[in-house]
Amino acid sequence: MIFSRKRAAGRHALDERATNLPDTAEGAPAAPVEPARGPYDVTEAPDGVQRLDLGSLQIPAVPEVEVRVQADQQGVVQQVVLVHGQSALQLGVFAAPRSEGIWDEVREEIRQSLFADGAAAQEVDGEYGTELHARVRTEDGLTDLRFVGVDGPRWMVRAVYQGAAATDPAAAGPLAHCLDGLVVDRGVEAKPVREPLPLRLPREAGEQAATADPAAGPADAASAPGGR
């Protein structure tokens, strides 16, 4: 697990989510069934799973997945990227309204932005609903991207696959397990729709960074306990 410091996007698509719950013998509705997979709202998350707590996002510990977190000097996380082999998964989480999801409109805005930059994007049906697949030009040449959106209760997770996992979902492997096990802690504060939910370094990582050499460059990284 690597932490670096910078110097001064439909409803939650889940497998077998219960829609018509049977009544009990007394006629009262049965207890809600936990979703078969995440991203989970913090109120639904299964117990007994080791996770990296970044505030609004809690990332499950999956073997051979490296978590790279870039934060500012105050410990506010700017970017979260998970890496496995030649594939990467960038994660973001945003506020959404209580009444409806926002992934459909966010996806369309991403598509239009890519088109304006000269990149074509294609909508494809995926495990979480409609994805957006694109090929963009970067400093390293052409790069494939796969945008996945998951709408939850008052939040939306945007996940962007790069590398082999962008063109072949089967290649996502452990990165897909991380997305399936992700937990979102939305909090109770009112927030503007689409505002990024706050992410922060774990306390242990923040303490390590606070004692690091202040003259160190942005490439320096501090390893947090429990890193993968």
- pLDDT tens for each residue of 107-133: 999 999 999 999 989 999 999 999 999
Among candidates 22, 58, 62, 56, which has minimal Cα distance to 38? Answer: 58
Strand partners, 52: 59
Radius of gyration in angstroms for the set of CA atoms belonging to the chain, rounded to a whole number: 19
Give the DSSP letter of residue 227: -
Asked if residues 154 and 43 have their Cβ atoms less than 8 Å apart, the reply is no
What is the pTM (predicted TM-score) of this model? Answer: 0.77
Q: Which residues of 82-109 are buried (b: 16+ CB within 10 A; e: fewer)?
A: bbbeebbbbbbbbbbeeeebbbeebbee
Asked if residues 46 and 34 have their Cβ atoms less than 8 Å apart, the reply is yes
pLDDT tens digits, residue range 53-83? 999 999 999 999 999 999 988 888 999 999 9
